[in-house]
């Protein structure tokens, strides 16, 4: 059963051999995951730029995310990318500067470190409901109008 440790990570000792065969096996998966993460982060950056009428630095975003994901791997963590839902909620709540992102990350870290027993007691169905409401709140409903322009039947 999975659990939230509620502790800071430590360096991982790798048990797989670091040779050419290992790298050729891992490299395609790493490239695909990095590309997906970068695309999602850049899409989030573009969306936030439109909402705030500002211009973000995509190069800094890519370098920061890549560096963080590589370092995270040495601690046994998973790579990540910008979260559209959290970013939009942050913007709609009035967060505009770097401090809002830092505060969100710090509160999340504290919540995991100090409240992990409480987090584990939350039913998965409740978390699913919260995620569903985030999707409903952040979905661009006007994009459904495009469906009228598609043909009802595909010709072969």
For residues 55-83, b (16+ Cβ closer than 10 Å) or e, as one string? eeeeeebbeebeeebeeeeeeeeebebbe
Higher pLDDT among residues 71 and 156, named by residue? 71
The answer to whether the predicted template modeling score (pTM) of the entire model surpasses 0.75 is: no
Q: What is the pLDDT of residues 53-89, one digit of tens each?
A: 888 888 998 999 899 999 988 888 888 888 777 888 8
Asked whether 35 and 65 are in contact (CB, 8 A), the reply is no
pLDDT at 104 over 60: yes
Q: What average pLDDT does range 17-35 have in this prediction?
A: 91
């Amino acid at each position: 059963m999975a659990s939230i440790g509620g502790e800071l990570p430590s360096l991982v000792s790798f048990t797989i051999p670091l040779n050419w065969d290992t790298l050729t096996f891992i490299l395609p998966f790493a490239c695909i995951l990095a590309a997906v993460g970068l695309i999602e982060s850049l899409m989030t950056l573009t969306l936030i730029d439109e909402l705030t009428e500002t211009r973000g630095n995509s190069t800094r975003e890519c370098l920061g995310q890549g560096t963080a994901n590589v370092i995270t791997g040495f601690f046994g963590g998973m790579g990540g990318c910008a979260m559209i839902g959290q970013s939009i909620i942050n913007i709609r709540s009035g967060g505009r500067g770097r401090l809002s992102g830092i505060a969100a990350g710090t509160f999340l870290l504290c919540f995991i470190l100090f409240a992990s027993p409480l987090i584990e007691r939350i039913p998965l169905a409740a978390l699913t409901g919260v995620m569903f409401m985030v999707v409903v709140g952040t979905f661009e409903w006007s994009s459904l109008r495009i469906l009228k322009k598609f043909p009802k039947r595909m010709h072969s």
